[in-house]
Amino acid sequence: MDREWNDKQPIYRQLRDRVVAMILDGVLNEGDPLPSVRNVAAEYRVNPLTVLKGYQQLVDEDFVESRRGLGMFVKTGARNLLLQGERQKFLAEEWPQIQANIQRLGLTPEDLLNGAGKRRAPKSGKEER
């Protein structure tokens, strides 16, 4: 996990997304306990309630279950559910906008593959479109 927060989204939602990423990446396997609320709060210097809120969202989504006195655990089947749900959400909601953006910015496949590498030279005086 990264130590930094984005100002573009509430912390609790970023937290939720990070746990999801950890499950998808296999960093957290089914049955594993999530890092404890208090630990996360301390490590990232965030309020315990904020962490709880992010975790609770995962409970509501049924990817995680909470056992009092024990911790919060990745539910069995979570990874596949997640793959399905997040795939659909990504393809339906995010990807179309990303595509539009790429086109808008006139980015070529090379630009995307080279990462933030070099800048390509425009063909002529006027920018395209």
DSSP letter assigned to residue 76: T
Residue ranges in the chain assigned as alpha helix (H)? 11-24, 37-43, 48-60, 78-89, 95-104, 109-113
CA nearest neighbour of 31 among 59, 1, 65: 65
Q: What is the DSSP letter of 124?
A: S
Q: Which of 19, 23, 28, 52 is the binder for DNA (CB under 7 A)?
A: 52
101 binds, among DNA, its own copies, none (CB under 5 to 8 A by kind): its own copies
Residues 8-27 that bind its own copies (CB under 8 A): 8-9, 21, 24-26
81 binds, among its own copies, DNA, none (CB under 5 to 8 A by kind): none
What is the pairing mode between strands 64-67 and 71-74? antiparallel
Does 70 contact DNA by CB under 7 A?
A: yes
Q: What are phi and psi of 73, to 5 degrees?
A: -125, 145
- Binding region for DNA (CB under 7 A) out of 24-32, 63-71, 82-90, 107-115: 63-71
Taking CB under 7 A as the rule, does residue 68 contact DNA? Answer: yes
**CB atoms < 10 A from the CB of 41, how many?**
17
Cβ atoms within 10 Å, residue 5? 13
Q: Give the interface with its own copies as residue ranges (CB under 8 A).
A: 8-9, 21, 24-26, 79-80, 83, 86-88, 90-92, 94-96, 98, 100-102, 104-107, 111-112, 115-116, 127, 129
Q: Give the interface with DNA as residue ranges (CB under 7 A).
A: 10-13, 34, 36-39, 46-50, 52-53, 55-56, 59, 66-72
